Amino acid sequence: MDIPNYAKAVMQTLENAGYEAYIVGGCVRDTLMGKLPHDYDIASSALPEEAKRALSGFKVIETGIKHGTITVISNGQQIEVTTYRIDGDYSDGRHPESVSFTQKLENDLARRDFTINGMAYGREGIIDIFGGREDLKRGIIRCIGEPEKRFSEDALRIMRAIRFSAVLGFEIEESTARSASECRSLLKKISAERILAELKQLIRGKDTERVLLQFPEIFAEILPELACEIGFEQYSRYHDSTLYEHTARAVGAVRSALEKTGGEHSEEAETALGLAMLLHDCGKVRRQSRSADGEGHYYGHAAVGAEMTDAALRRLKCSNTERERICKIIKYHDIPIELSGKFLRRQLAKHGDLFRDIVAAHIADDMAKREFCRERIPTYLKALEKIKEIEDEKPCLTLKELAVNGSDLTDMIPPSPELGRILRKLLMEVIDGKLENEKGALKARAAELTARC
Ligand code: ATP
Ligand code: MG
């Protein structure tokens, strides 16, 4: 296995001092999968003080010495060294009451969550007591030990199981999957921040749609807003699935929707759109009505959904910027998209860059409906092309960009709320292409408007 020299140096130093040292956990898993791990963890038989002494040639930070962890800086890179540990009883479903140190690597590996995360690599090569290598090869997430006990000890493992399943595209072994679902109510004990952190990784997975469809009850546990979508018949000519299935498909369509919109898209854009699609229709059930012909209608569901999502994301301690972005996408996810310059300039003025997210949401949404709904996608793409052209013209879209400001007009209108109203009116007319953004024209129009008041 290929291990970077800075990690080898730390292992070697511990071994030279007479201790055992192994690379463990996620970095072994990632390396075996041919991926570059984002960090390396070392487990060692050395007690924390012993490890500190043995590694005195390195800069050492006492990050979590009570739990046996120190951070070592080796050749400019951070690496965590943790003493072999046994976790004590978990009474709160989150943290072990105590941890004790052990001299046996097997014990340390046994406390880890899944077989693919329970391997070590050292002098003898790979140590694989629980069949992690085989599960990795076959693409299986399986608890180490009794699944129900492991999920009851720490319910965050439920989120980790479905996150790995979505991100790696792995199936969850049957009894692990059953217990994850059965233990889901324990997720209440897990902090909102940690749930959200897992959800944000999960939502960008390659198999998120499958995981959403496989574990609706787990998602309804962390997002009760989704509960009413499960099994909900839409009675709509646009849909051929239940509301929850449509939601799962829309999330699954996010990457492809962003790719269609072209250009670079960031991880944040993908996460925000993923979470937006997950919650985009949560207001539908509250806003349902049926016309005489039996067709289901959902007037106003986008605004209701945006409000429900705002509450959900506050509960999950999502950052304000991200929450606002997601809620706006939801609020406008079903506005009719027109191709006129006037409409597009208005959207740009109102939403700025966010308009691209709104269009991408339309695409993901339509990809999750009946086939014929995709006919609208070329129009959306055309709208984005036109938006680019409009941006290249550097149009005036804000009061700041208007060729007059308040003081240019004070000889006509004294500073007052009326002045503000006139300036906004001028801006709207400029955006709509009715008025040129030129001082003389704007002043003349302002005079007209004041005369009329
Ligand atoms: P990634 O870093 O890619 O999110 P990871 O598996 O490396 O995944 P970390 O949080 O870095 O996750 O944890 C490192 C290792 O610690 C894991 O591989 C696993 O062996 C163990 N571990 C982490 N969280 C838990 C947990 N909740 N229960 C049991 N073991 C855990
Ligand atoms: Mg890791």
Higher-confidence residue: 323 or 410?
A: 323
pLDDT at 164 over 70: yes
- CA distance linking residue 85 with residue 106, whole number of Å: 10
Percentage of residues of the chain with pLDDT beyond 70: 99
Beta bridge partners of 100: 86
Measured CA to CA, the distance from residue 135 to residue 216 in angstroms comes to 25
Q: What is the pLDDT of residues 207-256, one digit of tens each?
A: 999 999 999 999 999 999 999 999 999 999 999 999 999 999 999 999 99
Q: Which ligand is nearest to the CA of 109?
A: 1
Nearest CA residue ID for atom 13, ligand 1: 26
Give the model's confidence band at 107: pLDDT under 50 very low, under 70 low, under 90 confident, else very high: very high
Give residue 65's pLDDT: 85
Measure the CA–CA gap between 272 and 323, rounded to whole angstroms.
8
Which residue's CA is the closest to the ligand 1 atom numbered 15? 25
CA distance 26 to 106: 16
Q: What is the pLDDT of residue 290?
A: 93
| Residues in CB range of 224: below 8 A, 6 or more apart | none
- In this prediction, residue 1 carries a pLDDT of 87
User: For 121-137, what is the mean pLDDT?
Assistant: 97
Q: For 67-78, how does the pLDDT look when each residue is reduced to its tens digit (9 = 90+)?
A: 899 999 999 999
Pocket of ligand 1 contains residue 108 by CB under 6 Å: no
- Whether the pLDDT of residue 88 is over 90: the answer is no
What's the mean pLDDT when you consider all of the chain? Answer: 95
Residue 91: pLDDT over 90: no
The per-residue pLDDT for 72 is 97
Q: Does any ligand 1 atom lie closer than 6 A to the CB of residue 365?
A: no
| Nearest-angstrom CA–CA distance, 334 and 93 | 41
The single residue listed with the structure tokens 């005369």 is: 451
- Rounded CA gap, 59 and 284, in Å? 56
Say yes or no: CB of residue 112 within 6 Å of ligand 1.
yes
* CA distance linking residue 437 with residue 441, whole number of Å: 7
How far is 259 from 252, CA to CA, in rounded Å?
Answer: 13
Structure tokens at 206: 């390659």
Q: What percent of the chain has a predicted confidence (pLDDT) above 90?
A: 89
Counting from 1 in the atom list of ligand 1, the atom nearest the Cα of 38 is 2
Per-residue pLDDT tens digits for 22-62:
999 999 999 999 999 999 999 999 999 999 999 999 999 99
Check if the beta carbon of residue 42 is closer than 8 Å to that of residue 74: no
* CA atoms within 13 A of residue 63's CA, in its CB half-sphere: 13
**Span from the CA of 396 to the centroid of ligand 2 (angstroms):** 48
Q: Over the stretch 353-411, which tens digit does the pLDDT of each residue have?
A: 999 999 999 999 999 999 999 999 999 999 999 999 999 988 899 999 999 998 899 88
Closest of 77, 104, 68, 70 to residue 6, by C-alpha? 77
pLDDT at 441: 94
Apex 72 CA angle, 67 and 77, nearest 5: 130
Tell me what the mean pLDDT of segment 182-198 comes to.
98
CB of 335 within 8 A of CB of 357? no
**Does 154 sit in the ligand 1 pocket, CB within 6 Å?**
yes
Q: Are 446 and 413 in contact (CB under 8 A)?
A: yes
Per-residue pLDDT band at 263 (split at 50, 70, 90): low
293: how many CB neighbours lie within 10 A of its CB?
7
Q: How confident is the model at residue 124, as a pLDDT?
A: 94
**Confidence (pTM):** 0.93
pLDDT at 264 over 80: no
Give the best-scoring range by mean pLDDT among 193-202, 257-266, 416-425. 193-202
Query: How many Cα atoms occupy the beta-carbon half-sphere of 341 within 13 Å?
Result: 12
Return residues with CB closer than 5 A to ligand 2 (ion).
26
Pair of tokens at residue 222: 């962390």
Between the alpha carbon of residue 59 and those of residues 21, 71, 203, 236, the distances in Å are 18, 8, 38, 64
Written as one string, the DSSP assignment of 308-373 is HHHHHHHHTT--HHHHHHHHHHHHTTTPPP---HHHHHHHHHHHTTHHHHHHHHHHHHHHTS-GGG
For residues 450 and 330, what is the distance between their CA atoms, to the nearest angstrom?
A: 39
Contact call for residues 345 and 397 (beta carbons, < 8 A): yes
What size, in residues, is the chain? 453
Assign residue 41 a region (left: φ > 0; alpha: ψ between -120 and 50; beta: otherwise).
beta
In this prediction, residue 453 carries a pLDDT of 62
Q: How many CB atoms lie within 10 A of CB 275?
A: 29
Calpha distance 343→346 (Å, rounded): 5
Q: How far apart are CA 274 and CA 31, in angstroms?
A: 28
State the DSSP string of 235-274. --TT-SS-HHHHHHHHHHTHHHHHHHT-S---HHHHHHHH
Question: Which residue has the CA at smallest separation from atom 17 of ligand 1?
Answer: 25
Nearest to 27 by CA among 12, 45, 6, 13: 6
153 lines ligand 1 (CB under 6 A): no
pLDDT of residue 54: 97
